[in-house]
């Protein structure tokens, strides 16, 4: 079965987000095997300075890099924007190649440059900033929508 891996910084604490994540994982199980790898979210102070933020990004990045496999899509605000149909095409291309996809969701300060340069693609859903725990739900919903588009299912309509 095709594999989708989500590497995300931090843990989801809110039950309503966890419930939504589990729902989309269940829906996706008919199309692919989804795994979520949570890496430690680094925190130094309540208001970290720029050097502390750089250190946070570096440490989180080191953890992320160890988990990357297959075709890597890093979620970044400066990334390429694509429609749901565009994401469906991207996923179909990787399914056809038999290459798993790893999506990367950064923490509160984003993703370090080393992770971005290691990625095959930088993808953005919007110019807006979203909480990284909410973004997991959004990503899984869009992945489910993409598989639904590829299967010509009613969900996307």
| Alpha carbons within 13 A on the beta-carbon side of 30 | 10
pTM above threshold 0.85: yes
Which residue range is the domain that position 131 belongs to?
3-156
Q: List the CATH number of the domain containing 13.
A: 3.40.1280.10
Nearest Cα neighbor of 37 from 15, 10, 76, 75 is 10
Residue 44 has pLDDT above 90, yes or no: no
Q: What is the model's pLDDT at position 102? A: 98
Lowest-pLDDT choice from 52-56, 62-66, 100-104, 119-123: 52-56
Distance between start and end Cα atoms, the chain: 26
Number of separate domains in the chain: 1
Q: Judge whether residue 157 has pLDDT over 80.
A: no
The average pLDDT across 2-17 equals 97
Q: How far is CA 33 from CA 9, 125, 155, in A?
A: 20, 23, 19
CA distance 25 to 151: 17
pLDDT tens per residue across span 95-153 = 999 999 999 999 989 999 999 999 999 999 999 989 989 999 999 999 999 999 999 99
**150, two tokens:** 């590829």
Encode 82-104: b = buried (16+ Cβ within 10 Å), e = exposed: beeeebbebbeebbeeeebbbbb
């Amino acid at each position: 079965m095709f594999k989708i891996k989500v590497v995300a910084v931090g843990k989801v604490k809110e039950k309503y987000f966890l419930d939504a994540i589990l729902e989309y994982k269940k829906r996706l199980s008919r199309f692919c095997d989804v795994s979520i790898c949570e890496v430690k979210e680094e925190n130094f102070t309540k208001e970290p300075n720029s050097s502390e933020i750089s250190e946070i990004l570096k440490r989180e990045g080191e953890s992320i890099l160890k988990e990357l496999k297959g075709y890597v899509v890093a979620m970044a605000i400066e990334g390429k924007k694509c429609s749901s149909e565009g994401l469906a095409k991207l996923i179909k291309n990787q399914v056809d190649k038999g290459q798993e996809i790893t999506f990367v969701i950064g923490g509160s300060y984003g993703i370090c440059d080393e992770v971005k340069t290691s990625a095959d693609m930088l993808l953005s859903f919007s110019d807006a900033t979203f909480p990284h725990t909410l973004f997991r739900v959004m990503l899984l919903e869009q992945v489910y929508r993409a598989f639904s588009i590829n299967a010509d299912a009613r969900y996307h309509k």
